[in-house]
Structure 1
Amino acid sequence: MPTEKRRILVVGAGVTGLLSAVRCALAGHHVTVLDRDAIPNPGSTSFDQHRAVRALDTHDLAASRRIAVAHRRWMGLEALTGSKFYRRVGMITAWPEDDVDAVMSAAAAADLPVRLIEPDSVPHVRFPDGTVGVLERHGGILLADHALQVLVRWLTEQPNVALRPWQEVKAVDPGTGRVYLPDAESLDADLTLVATGPWSKDLVDIPMVLHRQTLVYLKPPEQLATAWERTPGVGRIGTSGQAWLLPPGDGTLLKVSSAVACREAHMVTAGTPDEERQWAEQVLSEQIVSEPHRYTVMAVKRCHYLVDAQTGNSHLVRIGPSTWARTASGGDGFRTAPLVAERILEALTTDFREESI
């Protein structure tokens, strides 16, 4: 842990920016957080009712182990803030029966506790024919907007933290980390992190691809309220095997979507109601829940997320001697934000160029 206290400048008060600010503040550094809107920003890609935390990637066991560590970091943040925002109900993924042995072996190699779930035990969810569920017992659901509010409240109480909402950054100099604000104001720091989600494309020149997705929020029938409260998040379901759901609980609605509603975009836009209705209908045609006619559509939301153009993954990239950029947003940003926060703190004392997180 460094003894010299540094100045940290965080551009973007989404989950990555806020967790990095918390980690650096705990280490005694001086942190300034900027956001173009309120803090937390209800228009950010981080702000939503809930986000999934799962770890298993059968193609990357090292990444699976790292995400398992992130799960424990969220539990630590609950203890730090004295608030509950992590529903540890588990996460299920549906796999063809022929693949289950390989999936279970991968989980064991990554030291992840899992168990099989028969589709009949979750009758209100539609699993594809011939599939079995694999439950990650340590996975769960983050109450995302509540978590952001809790983190902001904690940061507000720290004397070495300054939160500056309504500060639209005009430019970032990657060579110096200097941040330029309106009215010719500029800010310098020992380390600058750009974590503005889809808006990062306007500030840093690294290859990124913007995607757009439609989310549908449902109210289940009253008779199934108790069953849904106990239900984990579920992925790889629906007609295409590319749909997923996050269960209702603690005041949240049932959220469903599918990769079939994911499309590349050039900029962040609101979209017309008719356009989003069409995408929502495509999501609902995926047969994600049993007896869908019993569910009420409460809201439809358009979201955006950013990935690395070359790998399709999220990265933490060093773009200058003391300037870093995060290519991630949305659900993946939540899964990996605790790891990014650790890397940013480490970057104050060690030299590493890039991390796939």
Structure 2
Amino acid sequence: MTAVRAARVVVVGAGVVGLLTALECALAGHRVTVLDRGTIPDPGSSSYDQHRAIRTLVPGDPEGTRRMVAAHRRWRELETVLGTAFYRRVGVVTAWPPDRVAAVVASAAEAGVEVTRLDPAGLPHLGFPAGATGVRETRAGVLLARRVLRAAARWLAAHPAVVLRPHCAVTAVDPRSGRVELAGGEVLSADLVLVAAGPWGRELVGRPVVLHRQTMLYLRPPDRLARWWRTAPAAGGLGADGRAWAVPPGGGTLLKISSDAVCREVAAADCADEDQAPWAERLALAGVLPDVGRYTVVAARACHYTTDAETGGAQLARLGPAVWARAACGGTGFASAPLVAGRIVDAVTEVAA
């Protein structure tokens, strides 16, 4: 067997993909430098949020389901690696038209994913579309995202093969040589570079992406519903148009709701001058929560993510022999981050063999 040398890896961006990639590369015996324009972790990053839902079933896509099952398994293992509990296994419910439920359940059975049908009346504080049926994925739930990022940063800071460099802006990346230029003129060289800098990495990758902005509402349930929400599942397909979702409170987090209906394309990630009130009002009226007026609005926040301009997805792209890039892609991107980290480790192994 050919020994694999310790490769030099540079990760640009300390969001969830960057931090997990650095962790997996360090576990594989490689030397890693993590660069971020802000702190590590950075509260301004697209990954930095209270919580994100994780599920494994991708209806009608056996390969996608297989990948998410692997990601789910790795997330559970990472709790042990990081010595931190961050996964609330409260399940995930999605709302479906009655004529599609049988196909969804059959797809789950074929993939070995445990689901149950439920009557929306059993979850009266979630706003299902009229006539919809619920499908609950029991082995799914919520990742405490902020806790994940903090734990990963602590683990990396203590690892002898990892260097964390916050407040370190990158100005250019050469996709062929792996040279990384920093503001101020410093140049780093690497066997492999991963650009995972979120919306702020668009100018580095030379690949067309579309920038999206989405408003989220953070709510505190009324006291009379606090006990109900403690065990409530995450849910999708909500609201009158079936485009909304809710992530339940727990582990020190608030209830979060949003909808694809308040997602819009924008030119830049700077939203300091945008009034979130109209978008927050639109969310409140979307029917995500039947009795939303009883909830206390704590905050409205705009988040950003990018999608590949050609595929519309969150593609992991190889830009050259030495450089890969991953766009920031919201909740789904957070849940699938272990898959990206694993693919980069494979790529580093190929380079170092």
Which secondary structure does the structure 2 equivalent of 1:170 belong to?
strand
Partner residue of 1:292? 292
Which secondary structure does the structure 1 equivalent of 2:46 belong to?
coil
Partner residue of 1:194? 195
Task: Give, as a single letter, the amino acid of the residue that structure 2 aligns with 1:29.
Answer: H
Is the Cα–Cα contact under 8 Å of residues 19 and 341 in structure 1 kept in the other structure? Answer: yes
Distance 1:77 1:2, change over 3 A: farther
**Which deviations, in whole Å up to 9, do the C-alpha atoms of 1:36-90 show, x marking residues without a partner?**
0000000000000001111222242211110111011111110111110111111
Is the Cα–Cα contact under 8 Å of residues 212 and 303 in structure 1 kept in the other structure? Answer: yes
Partner residue of 2:128? 127
Establish whether residue 91 from structure 1 lines up as the match of residue 85 from structure 2: no
Partner residue of 1:310? 310
1:196-215 matches, cutoff 5 A: 196-215=197-216
d(CA) in 2 for partners of 1:47 and 1:329? 13
Report the number of matched residues: 350
Partner residue of 1:326? 326
Query: Mean Cα displacement is larger for which, 37-46 or 203-212?
Result: 203-212
Task: Give, as a single letter, the amino acid of the residue that structure 1 aligns with 2:165.
Answer: R
Q: Percent identity?
A: 51
Report the Cα offset of residue 271 of structure 1: 3.8
Establish whether residue 245 from structure 1 lines up as the match of residue 242 from structure 2: no
Distance 1:12 1:190, change over 3 A: same
d(CA) in 1 for partners of 2:203 and 2:221? 40
Report the Cα offset of residue 26 of structure 1: 0.5
Which secondary structure does the structure 2 equivalent of 1:302 belong to?
strand
d(CA) in 2 for partners of 1:195 and 1:332? 15
Task: Give, as a single letter, the amino acid of the residue that structure 1 aligns with 2:337.
Answer: A
Which secondary structure does the structure 2 equivalent of 1:252 belong to?
coil
Partner residue of 2:268? 267
Which secondary structure does the structure 2 equivalent of 1:297 belong to?
strand
Partner residue of 1:168? 169
1:1-357 matches, cutoff 5 A: 3-272=4-273, 275-350=275-350
Task: Give, as a single letter, the amino acid of the residue that structure 1 aligns with 2:212.
Answer: H
Is the Cα–Cα contact under 8 Å of residues 114 and 137 in structure 2 kept in the other structure? Answer: yes
Is the Cα–Cα contact under 8 Å of residues 62 and 110 in structure 1 kept in the other structure? Answer: no
d(CA) in 2 for partners of 1:21 and 1:232? 31
d(CA) in 1 for partners of 2:129 and 2:227? 24
Report the Cα offset of residue 254 of structure 1: 0.4
Report the Cα offset of residue 2 of structure 1: 5.5
Which secondary structure does the structure 1 equivalent of 2:261 belong to?
helix
Which secondary structure does the structure 1 equivalent of 2:202 belong to?
helix
Is the Cα–Cα contact under 8 Å of residues 71 and 138 in structure 1 kept in the other structure? Answer: no
TM-score, structure 1 as length reference: 0.96
Poorly superposed stretches of 4+, deviation over 3 Å? none
Report the Cα offset of residue 199 of structure 1: 1.3
Is the Cα–Cα contact under 8 Å of residues 10 and 192 in structure 1 kept in the other structure? Answer: yes
TM-score, structure 2 as length reference: 0.97
Report the Cα offset of residue 308 of structure 1: 1.1
d(CA) in 1 for partners of 2:152 and 2:20? 8
Query: Structure 1: 5+ residue runs without aligned partners?
Result: 352-357
Is the Cα–Cα contact under 8 Å of residues 20 and 337 in structure 2 kept in the other structure? Answer: yes
Which secondary structure does the structure 1 equivalent of 2:229 belong to?
helix
Is the Cα–Cα contact under 8 Å of residues 125 and 289 in structure 1 kept in the other structure? Answer: yes
d(CA) in 2 for partners of 1:261 and 1:189? 40
Query: Structure 2: 5+ residue runs without aligned partners?
Result: none
Query: Mean Cα displacement is larger for which, 247-256 or 2-11?
Result: 2-11
Distance 1:17 1:2, change over 3 A: farther
Report the Cα offset of residue 207 of structure 1: 2.1
Partner residue of 1:355? none
**Which deviations, in whole Å up to 9, do the C-alpha atoms of 1:279-338 show, x marking residues without a partner?**
011111111112111101100000000111122111111101011001233212211100
**Which deviations, in whole Å up to 9, do the C-alpha atoms of 1:154-203 show, x marking residues without a partner?**
11110000000000101111111111012210000111000011112111
d(CA) in 1 for partners of 2:183 and 2:82? 34
d(CA) in 1 for partners of 2:119 and 2:308? 36
Query: Mean Cα displacement is larger for which, 57-66 or 148-157?
Result: 57-66
Is the Cα–Cα contact under 8 Å of residues 39 and 165 in structure 1 kept in the other structure? Answer: yes
